[in-house]
Every structure is written in C-alpha cells, then in structure tokens.
Amino acid sequence: MLDGHRTIGRVADVSRIPGPPTLTQLLPDLKTRRRSPEVMDQPGLDPAEHARALEALRRVNLFSATVRATWPRIRAFANDRAAPLRLLDVACGGGDFAARIARRARSEGVALEVSGCDMSEFAVAHATEHARRSGVPASFFRHDVLAQPFPEGFDVLTCSLFLHHLDEPEAVGLLRAMKAAGKLLLVDDLERGRAGWLLAYAGIRILSRSAVAHVDGPLSVEGAFTRDEARTLAEAAGWERPEAVGRFPCRFLLAEGR
C-alpha cells in the first residue's frame, strides 16, 4: 500500500522553482519615453478616488519639496521688481503647490498674487476648498491651456507634474504659450530613469493608499522626459536660455527668467 505521506518518484528540487520577479526584473526599458494614459486623466473617474489621488499628489509634492526648489527664484525675481507680481500655476491639480507658494510669500512679505488654473472642474473645486481651509489668499479657475489662449497679466508662470502628461508637440505648444505669457517660467517635473521609477513604485505606496496613484506613479515616470529632452523642447518652443537642473528626488526644474 502507498503511504499517503510519501511521494512517488524523485522529490522535487525546490531550489529550481523560480520565485516571484523582483522590482529590478519588473523595470521597463526607460531609455525611450513611453507615454500611456493615466487613470486620473480619464473622464468619469469616481470623485472619491479622484480626491484620494489629489491627496496623494499633495503628499508627493510635500516630500519632493517643490516649493523649496522654486521659491528662491520667485523671491529673487520679485526683489528686482517694485510692483506686486501675479503668479499663475498652470494645470494646478489640487492646488497644494499654489497654496504653499501663497503662504510662503505672505510669511516673507513678498507682494505676490497667486492663482491656479486646471481643465478639471473637480480639481478646481478641490483646490479652492484646500486654499480656504488653509487660510491662504489663492484663487483658482477652470481653463484648458492646451485648447485656449493663456490668460493675460501674469508675471510668473509655474507648472508642476504636468509636462509628462503631454505628447512632444503638445509639450512644445505649452512651453511656447508660457514663453509668450510670462516673464519667469518654472516647470518642475519627474525625470525618467530607473531610480525614479523605483521611487515612484515604492514611495507612493508608503505615502498613500490611493489605488489610482499606485498605478499612475510608475506610468508617470515612464512618460517623463529627461532634463536634456526637456531643454530641447524648451529651445524648440523659443525659450532663449532654458536651464534644466536636476534635483532631489529624481526630478528636474526647467527655468527661464527675463
């Protein structure tokens, strides 16, 4: 009789059974940019999921110190000009960056009127409520910068985590429109690379439980530009002396001021 606790034939060598793939093995080829539709860009996204994704972006921006990277240039620009300045944050999302800039300007006595625009009505409402709760003087309005002329009367134009959402012709068009509309131009975005992909994959899971952000984080890095590619786009858009500076963590700041 066969003993139920025995195996027939040779015992399997468990050392030969492959384990689950590691993160390094899962890494896509990042030598070439590959842009895929992100969940948060899709119409009809559940409002609760949208809000969680915007909160995830707020935490990412806080961790990435976006204001710390941009504020010194804004302050230096303001110090060279006597009149109060107006700043527009393009594709502002949940408005956290604009709100932090407004708070910093107020705390340092810099006369700066801060506004933000986004094509998403939900994002604009979220940003307006965020500024109200934070007690900062920032205003927000709905505007599609890819389809409508840029609003006039702004001195400083900022744009954070939007460039990687665009195809190359759209990116050049956006940068050209910013060039025509403002004097100080600051574009902060992800830089495509292995370290950035791994950080987006693991870091967003630490910072947020948003399922949308978990999917979109790595996709954003895959669709991001390198700093050299971003500089080339700015030159094609007519920027005279674009500066693309790498910064922690795995980001770049594209800037031009006049």
pLDDT tens for 71-129 read 999 999 999 888 889 999 999 999 999 999 999 999 999 999 999 999 999 999 999 99
Predicted confidence (pLDDT) at residue 47 exceeds the cutoff of 60: yes
- Choose the weakest-confidence range: 21-30, 37-46, 112-121, 130-139: 21-30
What digits encode the pLDDT tens for the residues 166-180? 999 999 999 999 999
Predicted confidence (pLDDT) at residue 1 exceeds the cutoff of 70: no
DSSP readout, 119-148? S-HHHHHHHHHHHHHHT--EEEEE--TTTS
What topology is assigned to 42-257 in CATH? Rossmann fold (3.40.50)
**Residues 42 and 193: beta-carbon distance below 8 Å:** no
Residue 24 pLDDT grade (very low, low, confident, very high; cuts 50, 70, 90): low
**Residues 160 and 97: beta-carbon distance below 8 Å:** yes
What's the mean pLDDT in 49-62?
93
Q: Report pLDDT for 15.
A: 47
For 54, which DSSP code? H
SS3 of 203, please?
helix
